[in-house]
Amino acid sequence: MNNFLNQWDGEQDNHKLGIPFHHRPPLKQQLSSAIYRLKTQQNKLESAALRMQQHDKEIFAKCVSAQMSHDTARAAMYANECAEVRKIAKVTLQSQLALEQVALRLETIEEFGDIARMMGPVASVVRSVKNQISGVIPEVGYELNEVGEMLNGFIADAGEPITESYDVSASNDEAQRILGEANAIADQHLKDKFPDLPSGPQRLGESISH
């Protein structure tokens, strides 16, 4: 435990890792770097979500126009495209909101140093978001993989305290709670920002999303 506390504010000697004469930054400094990188990805996701919202707005307008012109085939095509955009938008929003909560948790850890209890759920959320977003925005997924490795390193550096008191089940429950909150907020945001599709083509769009 004392060794971990020394690592928290002081430099880490990598000699025991077979890397002579090299020192890693203090854990607190590394954590600040992880927070910065997470917020950078959060901002990228926010920008992507706004672009998707604008794209959906344009397609929706075309869908309504086709519906009013009784061009059912074209209206269905635009409705299906809207459904696809909204699926991607939901994943992006969920990821953005989950990362926002993760950054807040990491800032709490940075302030109080409670790695043993709080880092496990945070690392689990980052891993889940990485798996979810990699197929949508690969560069964000790559960066989150890097951050996830950093977070796992923090858990390993905490060492013995985690093996004594860390509750894996509680960690998973907390991670699922964070993801669930992000999902609920994303659903509400989609309802607020994305209008319902016209009744006819809407069913076609919904059939794709299920």
Domain membership of residue 43 (yes or no) is: yes
Domain membership of residue 11 (yes or no) is: no
- What is the predicted pLDDT for the residue at 58? 95
For the chain, 210 residues long, give each residue's pLDDT as a single digit of tens: 444 445 555 555 554 444 444 556 677 888 899 999 999 999 999 999 999 999 999 999 999 999 899 999 999 999 999 999 999 999 999 999 999 999 998 998 877 766 666 788 888 899 999 999 999 999 999 999 999 998 888 777 765 344 334 444 556 787 888 888 888 888 888 888 888 876 654 444 443 333
Domain membership of residue 1 (yes or no) is: no
Domain membership of residue 190 (yes or no) is: yes
Q: What are phi and psi of 37, to 5 degrees?
A: -65, -40
Domain membership of residue 21 (yes or no) is: no
193-208 b/e with 16+ CB inside 10 Å = b? Answer: bbeebbeebbebbeee
Domain membership of residue 181 (yes or no) is: yes
Domain membership of residue 3 (yes or no) is: no
Range of the domain at 111: 26-209
Cβ pair 35, 107 in contact under 8 A: yes
Q: What are phi and psi of 12, to 5 degrees?
A: -100, 130
- What does each C-alpha distance from 29 to 4, 121, 135 come to in angstroms? 14, 20, 31
Structurally, the chain folds into a number of domains equal to 1
Please choose, from the candidates 99, 176, 174, the residue with its C-alpha nearest in 3D space to the C-alpha of residue 133. 99
Domain membership of residue 12 (yes or no) is: no
